[in-house]
Structure formats: structure tokens, C-alpha cells
Amino acid sequence: MASLFLQVRAVCAPMSRNWARRTVLAASGTLAVLNIALKWFLAVLDIVYRIAVPGAVSGAKQDLTGWWRLGVWVFFGSVGLFSGVFVGKLGVAIVQRRRLGMRGVGAMHVVMIMGAQTMVVPGMFACLGSFGLPVLVHLTNASHQP
């Protein structure tokens, strides 16, 4: 997450609007720190439950489930935000290239399309999977039925 934040910072450096740059950096920094903090919190809590109360691991698992789901949603949100910033910056660059008279479909268009696809489709599956729907199991089993 820290490397993604640094990449967002590098992408947002040439932005002309100060408020937009600060907003994007604040949101991405907050999500990155929250994501890292939740992962550390869950790791420490899991270790404490396993060491302090060896027989109560099943009860600890129930306690950790809510925190784990929050961690998953924060991770999805941060990856979505980072991907959105990168794809948005590519879109701005493509618009600027068209203003300069470059009309051909180049590598930037391909990266933009692929970036949008790699953000939307896995995001949908991640949201469905987080609600307890075994999406990938149904997709793989459906293709092998006679």
C-alpha cells in the first residue's frame, strides 16, 4: 500500500489544481494507513488469541470475522481508488494528446482500456464474493458439466 501511495503521489505531482491533488493524496494516504493498520491489528489480535487462550480459537474466529471483513472492504476500496486514479490520469493524458492533435489509437489507449477492465471485472467478483457467494466455484463448475 505504501508503494501505491508513492505512485499516486508521483502521478498527482503535475496536477494544476492544488485542492484536487490534496484531496486525492489525503484519501489515498488515509486508506493506505487504515489498510496497513487493520492488517497489523488483525495479526496481533490473532496471535494474542492463539497464545493467551489456546482453547478459545473458535470464539476468537467469530470475534475476528467482523474485523476481517472490514479489512477486506478497506482493501477493496484502496485498490479501487488507486486504480481509479491511475486510469483517470491516463484518461486526462489521452484528452490532452487529442488537444495537441494526436488522433491515433496508441499504447495509451490500450493501457486505459485494459486498466479499466482490470479494475471493474475483479471488483464485481470481489464484491459478490464478500457477500458469501461462491462466484468462482459456480463459474468453474458450470463449464465442466455435461
pLDDT in tens, 10-43: 888 877 888 888 998 899 899 889 988 988 888 8
Quote the pLDDT of residue 105: 64
Domain range for 61: 2-143
Quote the pLDDT of residue 58: 58
Of 75, 85, 92, which Cα lies nearest the Cα of 126? 75
Reading phi first (left if > 0) and then psi (alpha if -120 to 50, else beta), residue 15 is in beta
CB 85 within 8 A of CB 11: yes
CB 31 within 8 A of CB 74: yes
Quote the CA–CA distance of 22 and 13 in Å, as a whole number.
10
Work out the angle between the directed axes of helices 107-130 and 57-99 (0-180°, nearest 10). 160
Q: Could you read off the pLDDT of 57-106 as tens digits, one per residue?
A: 555 566 677 788 888 888 888 888 888 888 888 778 778 877 888 776 67
pTM of the prediction? 0.65
Domain count, the chain: 1
pLDDT bin (cut points 50, 70, 90) of residue 47 is: confident
Q: How far is CA 125 from CA 6, 130, 131, 134, 145, in A?
A: 27, 8, 10, 9, 22
Quote the pLDDT of residue 145: 45
